[in-house]
């Protein structure tokens, strides 16, 4: 286990290009693999999670190569995947396992998806239920956890209302819908990120997005595409918060995804009083823009349950901003954080408490009383990349040095995080 000592920084200043969005990268590889023809995806994120997705499709006969910053995927068509030689290891990538299950449910072969460490504790019942209704046969280990056995075959269309909004579950159902006879409809109570809908349509799927309800007609072939993946707003969130809380800071992040179902942090930070500016907006199949954040005082707010799907990955960074904001921040309906790589509610609570933050967790939500001076402390990543990056930013604005254990986990989504952070320190 690697540790890192972090000393307080005077400010953050500079312009950076962030690595490609992780969620979009996963989907580009998956859709490219089952499309017909070649897909050229510029900016696919190089990280542990996306590497496991690429390896999974290579194991099923898809040729994937890279030249410079462009990944080429030679698609095999909807039914062109081959049975892998053995179980497919997806590391700790819950996105890979849940979304890939939808594709594998419609194949003419059986598959076993396995995982490591935290992935063995991620619940799979949420995809087993809808895919089983479509005619797939899936079986997980006791308690609904990986490994996940999938017996592929003919699927039927369903009308499914999701009990809990989840982009991963929605994506699995929509991708399975490509193989189903008829029109599959998925309905959510709160709109989750729509990267899959956008990309399926871009690749040629017969898909209609009605907002909370999405419909896809089975049988339509997909065609390979050329696309550019914008920067990851989840990765940007740590620098946005760092620039906001360190006096005299100004950081500009170029070509970052501002997908409205994903960019809730922009609205949250603005409501808290942060100085956030958007420039050079482009409305490609995934909208992106430059984001600039300047330091300034912020205040606590109430974040409602309906906002959580659009900020689920940014919440650790928001916890840190709340700790440095004047007054009380209340976060409601964030239970999904408990089933990530770690229980992020507990990991953030323990670390922030070590730094002297008053934080309370109850059935009614999370309450953070901000404004006190944070002190340097011994911190723990708990093996979670987002907890680790969030606490690294908090340590920059603390009084005294901090040490974070387990920093190697950042390779899951942002291997160069600490190098980029160092480049901004002044």
Section 241-267 average pLDDT: 97
Helical ranges in 182-246 per DSSP H: 195-202, 233-245
Q: Is residue 255 left, alpha or beta, with left meaning phi > 0 and alpha meaning psi from -120 to 50?
A: left
Of 21, 49, 290, 313, the catalytic one is 313
User: Which pLDDT score is estimated for 333?
Assistant: 86
**Beta-carbon-side half-sphere exposure of residue 116 (alpha carbons within 13 Å):** 11
Residue 280, Cβ density class (10 Å: 0-12 exposed, 13-18 middle, ≥19 buried): exposed
User: Which pLDDT score is estimated for 340?
Assistant: 67
Question: For residue 341, what is the DSSP state?
Answer: S
Is 313 among the residues known to form the active site?
A: yes
- pLDDT tens digits, 117-164: 889 989 899 999 999 999 999 999 988 999 999 999 999 999 999 998
Structural domains in the chain, sorted by start: 3-20+230-424 (3.65.10.10), 22-228 (3.65.10.10)
Whole-angstrom distance, CA of residue 388 vs CA of residue 84? 35
Whole-angstrom distance, CA of residue 223 vs CA of residue 226? 10
Section 194-220 average pLDDT: 97
Section 234-238 average pLDDT: 97
Whole-angstrom distance, CA of residue 426 vs CA of residue 418? 14
Is residue 74 scored above 70 in pLDDT? Answer: yes
- Confidence band of 341 (pLDDT split at 50, 70, 90): low
- Strand, helix or coil at 425? strand
Helix pair 385-396, 233-245: axis angle to 10 deg: 20
pTM score, whole prediction: 0.92
- Confidence band of 35 (pLDDT split at 50, 70, 90): very high
User: Which pLDDT score is estimated for 99?
Assistant: 98
Vertex 259 angle, CA 257 and 262, to 5°: 100
């Amino acid at each position: 286990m690697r540790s890192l000592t972090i000393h307080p920084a005077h400010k953050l200043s500079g312009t950076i290009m962030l690595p490609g969005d992780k969620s979009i990268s996963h989907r580009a590889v998956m859709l490219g693999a089952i499309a017909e023809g070649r897909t050229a995806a510029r900016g696919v994120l190089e990280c542990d999670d996306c590497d496991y997705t690429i390896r999974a499709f290579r194991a099923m006969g898809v040729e994937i190569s890279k030249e410079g910053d462009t990944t080429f995927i030679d698609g095999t068509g909807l039914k062109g995947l081959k049975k892998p030689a053995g179980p497919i290891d997806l590391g700790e990538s819950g996105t890979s396992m849940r979304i890939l299950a939808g594709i594998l449910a419609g194949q003419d072969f059986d598959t076993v998806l396995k995982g490591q460490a935290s992935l063995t504790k991620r619940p799979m019942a949420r995809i087993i239920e809808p895919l089983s209704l479509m005619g797939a046969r899936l079986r997980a280990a006791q308690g609904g956890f990986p490994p996940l056995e999938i017996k592929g075959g003919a699927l039927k269309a369903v009308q499914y209302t999701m009990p809990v909004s989840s982009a991963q579950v929605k994506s699995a159902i929509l991708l399975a819908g490509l193989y189903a006879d008829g029109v599959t409809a998925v309905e959510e109570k709160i709109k989750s990120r729509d990267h899959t809908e956008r990309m399926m349509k871009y690749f040629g799927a017969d898909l209609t997005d009605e907002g909370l309800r999405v419909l896809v007609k089975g049988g339509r072939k997909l065609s390979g595409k050329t696309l550019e993946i914008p920067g990851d707003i989840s990765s940007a969130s740590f620098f946005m918060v760092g620039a906001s809380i360190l006096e005299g800071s100004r950081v500009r992040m170029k070509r970052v995804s501002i997908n409205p179902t994903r960019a809730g942090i922009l609205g949250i930070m603005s409501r808290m009083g942060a100085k956030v500016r958007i420039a050079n907006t482009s409305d490609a199949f995934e909208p992106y823009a430059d984001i600039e954040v300047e330091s300034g005082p912020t205040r606590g707010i109430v974040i409602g349950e309906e906002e959580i799907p659009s900020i689920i990955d940014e919440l650790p960074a928001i916890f840190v901003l709340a700790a440095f904001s004047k007054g009380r921040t209340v976060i409601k309906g964030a239970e999904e954080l408990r089933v990530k790589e770690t229980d992020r509610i507990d990991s953030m609570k323990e670390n922030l408490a070590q730094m002297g933050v008053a934080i309370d967790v109850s059935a009614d939500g999370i309450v953070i009383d901000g404004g006190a001076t944070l002190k340097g402390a011994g911190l723990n990543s708990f093996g979670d990349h987002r907890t680790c990056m969030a606490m690294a930013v908090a340590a920059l604005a603390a009084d005294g040095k901090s040490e974070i254990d387990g920093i190697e986990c950042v390779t899951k989504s942002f291997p160069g995080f600490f190098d980029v952070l160092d480049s901004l320190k002044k």
